Chains A and B, each alone.
Chain A
Amino acid sequence: MSDAAGATKQPWEALLLAVAETGDRDAFSRLFAHFAPRVKSYLLRQGSSPSQAEDIAQETLALLWRKAGLFDPEKASASTWIFRIARNQMIDRIRRRKRPELDPNDPLLTPAAEPAPDRQASKQEDIAAVRSALAELPEKQREVIMLSFFEEDPHPAIAEKLQLPIGTVKSRIRLALARLDTLLDRNAHGES
């Protein structure tokens, strides 16, 4: 957990585990420095005012601290964990809606435990791989995927923004997701 590793390999999981295990403020300050400004930017993009975005970004990171003990690196990357907290704060505070959520400890969960080897191999949840696949998407496809994460009512909003029929927006999103799957698959197998 050296600074050098932090700068290059971004071991967010190790930092978050240090927060969970020893209340490591230095580890937390590095998570804060990287994620708080991105969470704030995400909230501004969702239509919140600068003061609300600042407030919710602080709250998101404060929740990260309090929830650190629940983080399980076998189940999600640290950045996905932060994305979920930020998204749920956004829904609750900006959109004022409820979001029913799966309980990962629900005894009804079928199958109860997902096999660890599959989890390790899940290229679709490797954020670096997803980012490089997104960068390879044609710009028009990349755009509709990103907008899907920023709009309250994405299909009509994207249709208006891009001056496209809703049907075209939907089919473009479908094509983009399929293309992303292909890219992730191909990149995971080391072909180019």
Chain B
Amino acid sequence: MDRHHHLPDDLLLAYAAGSLAEGWSLAVASHLTYCLSCRQRDGALEAIGTAALEEMPPEPMDAGAFEACMARAESAEAEQPGNVVAGSNTPAPLRQYLGCDIDAVKWSPLGGGIRQHLIETGDETRARLLFIPPGEDVPQHTHQGLELTLVLAGSFADGDEEFHAGDIEVADETVDHTPVSGPNGPCICLAVTDAPLVFRSWLPRMIQRFAKI
């Protein structure tokens, strides 16, 4: 398993168990849309959760629980499949947050042609879309925590590794990197962190203070 382009078991296990924070879960759910091997792993981990549920010692339900449940079941219509948006370039879980496709979002400039769009989450994770013009460096940075970067359009290279639409980069505090967007069109990615990025030069630090990266 190429751990740089796929999600590691600890993230997928937390996602399957329901303990993964919202921002990470958004990146995971969006990556799963593109990646059969991570979907299969997610299925295998959900099967372990299912086995855990089956192993639970049964706890008796209250008297009349079945009738109460039936009444609830029939108090609302059966669920229909959700509407799918044909021709969208944006994974459904991400589109729910944006309310539109990635090419219709409002961007804020970060300098150097780089733009961002912040995505509100209900917890400590920070999620944003980044728009990086072709051939542009994202300033060299390290992390205090984890960073997940999912490519949605275009591509970027980090060292010898290339990341294309649907690929995800998993970087922790041991990674000190300068990703470069590919030459063919802008790179749009979903970046999730749980701590501010640490830039190595003074100019991005100035930007950072204003941009809340």
Chain A residues with CB under 8 Å of chain B are: 25, 28-29, 32-33, 36-42, 44-45, 53-54, 57-59, 61-62, 65-70, 76-77, 79-80, 82-84, 86-88, 90-91, 95, 97-103, 105-111, 114, 122, 124-127, 130-131, 134, 145-146, 148-154, 170, 173-174, 177, 180
Contact A58 B48 (CB under 8 A): no
Contact A124 B29 (CB under 8 A): no
The 0/1 profile, CB within 8 Å of A marked 1, for residues 38-52 of chain B is 011001101111111
Contact A149 B54 (CB under 8 A): no
Q: Is the interface of B mostly helix, strand, loop or mixed?
A: helix
Q: In the assembly, what is the distance between CA of A53 and CA of B50, in Å?
A: 18
Q: B191 to nearest A CB, angstroms?
A: 15
Q: Does B187 contact A (CB under 8 A)?
A: no
Q: Which residue of A lies closest to B91 (CB)?
A: A108
Q: In the assembly, what is the distance between CA of A65 and CA of B75, in Å?
A: 11
Known: A65-B69, A111-B36. 11 other contacts (CB 8 A): A36-B69, A40-B59, A54-B61, A69-B80, A70-B79, A79-B53, A82-B53, A83-B46, A97-B22, A114-B39, A130-B51
Q: B74 to nearest A CB, angstroms?
A: 8
Q: Which residue of A lies closest to B68 (CB)?
A: A58
Contact B79 A69 (CB under 8 A): yes
With A32-B66, A127-B51, A131-B55 as contacts: A108 and B17 at CB distance below 8 Å: no
Q: Does B149 contact A (CB under 8 A)?
A: no
Q: In the assembly, what is the distance between CA of A148 and CA of B211, in Å?
A: 36
Q: Is the interface of A mostly helix, strand, loop or mixed?
A: helix
Q: A91 to nearest B CB, angstroms?
A: 5
Residues of chain B contacted by A111 (CB below 8 angstroms): 36
Contact A83 B32 (CB under 8 A): no
Q: In the assembly, what is the distance between CA of A122 and CA of B75, in Å?
A: 37
Residues of chain A contacted by B79 (CB below 8 angstroms): 66-67, 69-70
Q: Does B207 contact A (CB under 8 A)?
A: no
Q: Does B180 contact A (CB under 8 A)?
A: no
Q: Which residue of A lies closest to B76 (CB)?
A: A66
Q: A34 to nearest B CB, angstroms?
A: 8
Q: Which residue of A lies closest to B27 (CB)?
A: A100
Q: Does B138 contact A (CB under 8 A)?
A: no
Select which of B9, B17, B47, B69 is within 8 A of A126 by beta carbon.
B47
With A83-B46, A154-B14 as contacts: A58 and B53 at CB distance below 8 Å: no
Contact B69 A100 (CB under 8 A): no
Q: Does B10 contact A (CB under 8 A)?
A: yes
Select which of B34, B57, B78 is within 8 A of A110 by beta carbon.
B34
Q: Which of B55-78 contact A (CB under 8 A)?
A: 55-62, 65-66, 68-70, 72-74, 76-78
Q: In the assembly, what is the distance between CA of A45 and CA of B60, in Å?
A: 14
A-B pairs, top 4 by smallest CB distance, nearest first, are: A37-B58, A103-B92, A65-B73, A124-B44
With A61-B69, A174-B9 as contacts: A100 and B96 at CB distance below 8 Å: yes
Residues of chain B contacted by A126 (CB below 8 angstroms): 47
Contact A38 B122 (CB under 8 A): no
The 0/1 profile, CB within 8 Å of A marked 1, for residues 76-100 of chain B is 1111111011111111111011000
Contact A37 B59 (CB under 8 A): yes
